[in-house]
Amino acid sequence: MTVTREGPMLVEGPVEVVLDDGTTVRSDRFAVALCTCRRSRTYPWCDTSHRRRGRR
């Protein structure tokens, strides 16, 4: 796992993520970017919204 400053968390896949509501989402990709700003339209996957909407 690699954490980038003001950016996503990069994780080698496959990945299974359990969300706050208990929902489990899975990606079979060899690497994924997990959103840390919570602005992504495809949350929990990063869609680079942190770049377009200003950094936090």
CA dihedral 56, 39, 45, 5 (to 10 degrees): 0
Number of domains the chain is built from: 1
Cα atoms in the Cβ-side hemisphere of radius 13 Å centred on 25: 11
Burial class (CB in 10 A: 0-12, 13-18, 19+), 19: exposed
**Structural domain for 31, as ranges:** 2-52
pTM: 0.76
- pLDDT tens profile 3-56: 888 889 999 989 999 999 999 999 999 999 999 998 999 999 999 988 875 555
